[in-house]
Amino acid sequence: MKAASNITVIGGGIGGLAVARACALRGARVTVLEQAEAIGEVGAGLQISPNGFAVLRGLGLGDALRAGAVQGEAVALHDYRRGPVVRLDLTRLESREYWFIHRADLIEILRAGAEAAGVTIRTGARVSEPGECEGDLVIGADGLHSVLRPGLNGPEAPFFTGQVAWRALIPHDGRRGGEARVHMAPRRHLVSYPLRGGTLMNLVAVEEQAEWTTESWSHAGDADNLRARFADFGADAQEMLGAVNAVSQWGLFRHPVAKIWGQGRFALLGDAAHPTLPFLAQGASMALEDAWVLADALAVQDLPEALVTYTARRRPRATRVIEAASGNAWKYHLSFPPLRLAAHTALRLGGALAPMRMMRQFDWLYGEDVTNGAQLC
C-alpha cells in the first residue's frame, strides 16, 4: 500500500475484520487485536443491504454471504393491533442483494477471509493505550467504547437516546420466507426477521423510556417483563414473544458523529466514529463501507491525504444515515391517534398506488456502491 504497509486494527468485529482483509489484499501487513478470548458465537441477527453487500462482493466474500444468509424479500410494516399497513417489496430494488444473517456467521466469514488474506488475529488482546500499538497506521474499529476516539476527539460521554431495546432469538418454522416485519405502536415497536435458513427468528423490541438506570448499558433481560411491556400487541407478535426464553436488554446510547476520523497515524471506523440507532438496519453496512473507502484511500495516497479523503467521503454519508435512522424511530412510534391514522393511511395508499415510488425513496441508501464495481479477488 502507498500510505501504510504495517497496520494494526483494534477490534475484531465486522468493520475491523473487513478493513483488515481489504488492506491485506492490497499488500499491507495487518494485525487485528481483539479483546475477547475468542471470536465466536455472539450477537444475534443483522441485515446486509445492497450497499453493504457490494463491499462483501468486492472483498471476494459475496458467495460465502449468500450461502449463510436468508435473502430478504420484503419489509412489512404492521400496526401493532390492526395488522398490515404496507409491504415494501425488496425485489423491486435495482439490486436484490438484501440479506438477513446471524452476526456470528458474518463474523466467521470475515475472520476466515481476513486470515486467508494473511491477517494476524490476536484474541485476548486488550488495548488501553493506542499510542503503544505498532504500525504505520492504527485503526480504531472498537465500537461505542472506543479507546482511540477520545485521543482524536477529546473526552465525551455517550448520551442516552431515551430508548431501550430487547433482543432475542426464537425457533422458527420458516413459513414467513424472507420477510422482515415491523410492528409499530405508540412509543414502541417490534422487529422480526428470519435467520439460518428460516430455522431462527431474530427479535428486536424497542420502547421509549425516560432513563437508563442499570449499572451497565447491556445486561440479561427478563422475558416475562418483555412480554408484559408488549402485552397489548396482536396475535402475531404474541406468538413470537411467547417463544422467548433468553433475552438481552440494553439502553440505546450514542456519540455524535466524530469530527475527526483520522489524524497522524490513527483512524476511526464504524461505531467508533458514528454509532447509529438500529432503526435503518445500517450499522453493519456502514462499517463495511468505511472499511472499503479507508483501504481504497490508503492504497493510492500518502497517509495524511488518505485520511482527509476518507473523512470527506464518509462523514457526510454517515451523518445522513444516522439522521434517517433517528427519523424512522419517530415514524414507528407515533402516539397521537389522528397523526398515526393519517400516517398509516398515507403508507397504505402509497403501497397500493405507487409501489415503485415507495421503493425509490431508498435509492440514495441502497444504491450506493463505494467499490464502483471493483473486486480485489
Pairing of strands 45-48, 83-89: unpaired
Cβ-based neighbour number of residue 314 at 10 Å = 24
193 is catalytic: yes
What is the average pLDDT value for the chain, to the nearest integer?
A: 93
pLDDT of 214 strictly over 70:
no
Distance CA 277, CA 272 (A): 13
Distance CA 267, CA 213 (A): 32
pLDDT of 353 strictly over 60:
yes
Q: Comparing 90-104, 133-147, 343-357, which segment has the lowest mean pLDDT?
A: 343-357
Identify the active-site residue in 80, 98, 193, 310.
193
Q: How many residues are listed for the chain in this entry?
A: 377
Strands in 188-195's sheet, in edge-to-edge order, are 83-89, 74-79, 179-185, 188-195, 200-208, 159-171, 248-254, 218-220
pLDDT tens digit sequence for 291-305: 999 999 999 999 999
pLDDT of 355 strictly over 90:
no
pLDDT of 217 strictly over 60:
no
pLDDT of 180 strictly over 70:
yes
pLDDT tens digit sequence for 103-122: 999 999 999 999 999 999 99
Maximum Cα–Cα distance across the chain: 60
Q: Which residues pair with 192 in a beta bridge?
A: 181, 203
CB-neighbour burial class of residue 193 (10 A; exposed 0-12, middle 13-18, buried 19+):
buried
In contact, 333 and 187? CB cutoff 8 Å:
yes
Q: What's the one-letter identity of residue 20?
A: A
pLDDT of 215 strictly over 50:
no
The grid coordinates of residue 131 equal: 499510542
Q: Which residues pair with 202 in a beta bridge?
A: 169, 193
In contact, 9 and 137? CB cutoff 8 Å:
no
41 vs 82, residue with greater confidence: 82
Q: Which residues pair with 345 in a beta bridge?
A: none
Distance CA 125, CA 123 (A): 5
Q: What φ, ψ does residue 166 adopt, rounded to 5°?
A: -120, 145
Q: Comparing 141-150, 269-278, 322-331, 368-377, which segment has the lowest mean pLDDT?
A: 322-331
Say what percent of the chain tops pLDDT 70: 98
Say which DSSP state 221 is in.
Answer: -
The mean pLDDT value for 50-64 works out to 98
pLDDT given for residue 212 in this prediction = 77
pLDDT of 237 strictly over 90:
yes
In contact, 140 and 130? CB cutoff 8 Å:
yes
